[in-house]
Amino acid sequence: MTDRVSANHIAKMADALREEAAIEPPPPSTEPVTKETQIIAIYGKGGIGKSFTLANLSYMMAQQGKKVLLIGCDPKSDTTSLLFGGRACPTIIETSARKKQAGDHVEIGDVCFKRDGVFAMELGGPEVGRGCGGRGIIHGFETLEKLGFHDWGFDYVLLDFLGDVVCGGFGLPIARDMCQKVIVVGSNDLQSLYVANNVCSAAEYFRKLGGHVGVAGIVINKDDHTGEAQAFAEKVGIPVLAAIPADEDIRRKSAMYEIVGKPGSPWAPLFEELARNVADAPPLGPAPLEHEALLDLFKGEAVGRDVVLEPATLEDMCGGELPPRKPSLEIIYDQVV
164 is catalytic: yes
State the Cα–Cα distance between residues 125 and 20, nearest whole angstrom: 17
Catalytic (active site) residue 45: yes
The one catalytic residue among 66, 67, 76, 253:
76
> Residue 122 carries which DSSP code?
E
Query: pLDDT at position 139, please?
Result: 74
User: What's the mean per-residue pLDDT of the chain?
Assistant: 83
Residue tagged active-site, from 45, 181, 222, 235: 45
Decide if pLDDT at 312 tops 50.
yes
As a whole number, mean pLDDT of residues 281-308 equals 84
What CATH number belongs to 33-290?
3.40.50.300
Choose, from 78, 110, 155, 164, the residue flagged as catalytic.
164
Active site residue 50: yes
Kindly report which listed range (19-23, 66-70, 141-145, 207-211) carries the lowest average pLDDT score: 19-23
pLDDT band for 30, please (50, 70, 90 cuts): very low
CA separation for the pair 54, 280 (Å, rounded): 17
Judge whether 110 counts as a catalytic residue.
no
Reduced to 3 states (helix: H, G, I; strand: E, B; else coil), residue 185 is strand
Q: What is the pLDDT of residue 33?
A: 40
Please report which helix (H) or strand (E) contains residue 133, including its range.
Answer: helix 133-146
What is the arrangement of strands in the sheet containing 38-44, beginning at the earlier edge strand?
113-115, 118-122, 68-73, 156-162, 38-44, 181-186, 214-223, 240-245
The pLDDT of residue 132: 65
Confidence of residue 52 (pLDDT cuts 50, 70, 90): very high
Q: Work out the average pLDDT over 4-22.
A: 65
Mean pLDDT of 52-80: 90
Beta bridge partners of 91: 122
Q: Taking a C-beta distance cutoff of 8 angstroms, is the pair 93, 310 a contact?
A: no
Q: Which residues contact 181 (CB under 8 A, 6 or more apart)?
A: 38, 40, 41, 213, 214, 215, 216, 281, 282, 283
